[in-house]
Amino acid sequence: MSREARPLRVVVGRRVGLVTARGHRAGEFSGNLPYRFGVPRIPLPRTRRGRLLTLGVIVVILAAVAAVWATSGRGPTPVASQSAMIDVPAAPGSADQVRLDTTLYLPAHTPAPALLLPHGFGADKTSVAGAAQELARRGFVVLTWSARGFGHSTGQIGLNDPDLEVADASHLVDYLAKRPEIRLDGPGDPRVGVVGASYGGALALLLAGYDKRIDAIAPEITYNSLAQGLVPNDASTTAPPAATPAAGAFAPDGVFKRSWAGILFSAGSSTARGSGGLGAEAPEPGQETSGTSSGGTGGGAAAGALPSADSVCGRFTAQICNAYTELATTGRVTPATVDLLRRLSPASVTNRITAPTLLVQGEDDTLFGLDQSDATARQITAAGGRVQQIWYAGGHDGGQPGPQLRAKVADWLWFQLTGEGSNPVTGFSYDVQGSLRASGAPSVRILNAPDYPGLGRDETQRKALALNGKAQPIVNPPGGVPAAVSGIPGLNGLAGSSRVTGLFGIDPPGQSARFTTAPVDSQLLVAGSSTIRLHVAGTTPEAVLFVKLYDVSPDGTRSLPANAVAPVRVPLTGGSADVTVTLAGIVHPIESGHALQVVVTTTDQSYWTPISPAAYQVSIDGGLSVPVIPGSAVGGGWPLGNALAIAGVLVAALAVSIFAAVRRRRAHRTDPALAEVPLVIEDLTKAYPGGLTAVRDLSFRVEPGQVLGLLGPNGAGKTTTLRMLMGLITPTSGQIRVFGHEVRPGAPVLSRIGSFVEGSGFLPHLSGELNLRLYWDATGRPADKAHFAEALEIAGLGNAVHRKVRTYSQGMRQRLAIAQAMLGLPELLVLDEPTNGLDPPQIHQMREVLRRYAATGRTVLVSSHLLAEVEQTCTHVVVMHRGRLVASGEVGDIAAAGGEATFRVDDAETAAAALRSVGGVSEVDVEGDLVHADLDGLPRAEAVAALVRAGVAVEQAGPRRRLEDAFLRLVDGE
**Residue 30 and residue 730 in contact, taking contact as beta carbons nearer than 8 Å:** yes
Quick one: pLDDT at residue 18?
A: 34
Mean pLDDT of the chain: 79
The answer to whether the peptide bond before residue 482 is cis (omega within 30 degrees of 0) is yes
Residues facing residue 127 across a β-bridge? none
Q: Are 693 and 685 in contact (CB under 8 A)?
A: yes
- Which residues fall within 8 angstroms of residue 325, CB to CB, at 6 or more apart? 313
**Residue 35: what pLDDT?**
30
Residue 374 confidence (pLDDT) above 90: yes
* E-assigned strand segments in 23-177: 35-36, 39-40, 80-89, 97-106, 114-117, 141-145
Q: Tell which wins on pLDDT, 301 or 814.
A: 814
Q: How large is the angle between the packed helices 810-822 and 768-779, nearest 10 degrees?
A: 30
Of 94 and 39, which is predicted with more confidence?
Answer: 94
Looking at the predicted structure, is the pLDDT value of residue 509 above 50? yes
pLDDT at 801: 87
pLDDT score of 262 more than 90: no
Q: Which residues contact 333 (CB under 8 A, 6 or more apart)?
A: 227, 231, 252, 254, 256, 323, 326, 327, 341
pLDDT at 611: 87
Give the chain's length.
974
Query: Rounded mean pLDDT of 616-625?
Result: 92
Pick the residue with more confidence: 519 or 50? 519
Burial of 522 (0-12, 13-18, 19+ CB in 10 A): exposed
What does the pLDDT read at residue 288? Answer: 37
Cα torsion 558, 562, 565, 566: sign: negative
Range scoring the smallest mean pLDDT among 229-233, 575-579, 645-649, 751-755 = 645-649
pLDDT of residue 124: 94
- pLDDT tens for residues 8-33? 333 333 333 333 333 333 333 333 33
**Greater model confidence, 898 or 790:** 790
Q: State the maximum Cα–Cα separation within the chain, in Å, rounded to a whole number.
A: 134
Give the Cα separation of 519 and 429 in Å (integer). 28
pLDDT tops 90 at residue 933: no
Q: Could you tell me which residue, 413 or 229, shows the higher pLDDT?
A: 413
- State the pLDDT at residue 944: 82
In a 10 Å sphere around its CB, with 0-12 CB exposed, 13-18 middle and 19+ buried, how is residue 799 labelled? exposed
Question: Is 325 or 940 the better-scoring residue by pLDDT?
Answer: 325
> Hey, which bits of 554-671 come out as E strands?
558-559, 566-571, 576-582, 586-590, 595-601, 614-628, 632-635
- The Cβ of residue 886 has, within 10 Å, a number of other Cβ atoms equal to 17
Predicted local distance difference test score (pLDDT) of residue 644: 47
Whether the pLDDT of residue 336 is over 50: the answer is: yes
More confident residue, 604 or 814: 604
Of 281-285, 315-319, 583-587, 967-971, where does mean pLDDT reach its minimum?
281-285
How far apart are alpha carbons 381 and 392 in whole angstroms? 21
Q: How far is CA 62 from the centre of its chain?
A: 37
- Alpha-carbon torsion, ordered 290, 295, 297, 302, to 10 deg: 80
Task: Name the least confident of 107-116, 296-305, 497-506, 846-855.
Answer: 296-305
Mean pLDDT of 453-469: 80
Q: Are 351 and 190 in contact (CB under 8 A)?
A: no
Q: What is the DSSP string of 400-414?
A: S--HHHHHHHHHHHH
937 CB-near residues (< 8 Å, 6+ apart): 899, 920
Most confident of 28-37, 569-578, 954-963: 569-578
**pLDDT above 90 as % of the chain:** 36
pLDDT of residue 67: 56
At residue 14, the pLDDT reads: 33
Q: Lowest-pLDDT range, 37-41, 322-326, 579-583, 788-792?
A: 37-41
| Highest averaged pLDDT of the listed ranges 147-161, 468-482, 742-756, 805-819 | 147-161
Residue 335 has pLDDT above 70, yes or no: yes
Range 589-593 average pLDDT: 91
At residue 40, the pLDDT reads 38
pLDDT of residue 781: 77
Residue 884 pLDDT grade (very low, low, confident, very high; cuts 50, 70, 90): confident
- Provide the strand spans (E) within 363-477: 387-392, 428-436, 442-449, 461-465, 472-476
The model's pTM is 0.60
Whether the per-residue pLDDT at 878 is higher than 50: the answer is yes
User: What is the gyration radius of the CA atoms in the chain, in angstroms?
Assistant: 36
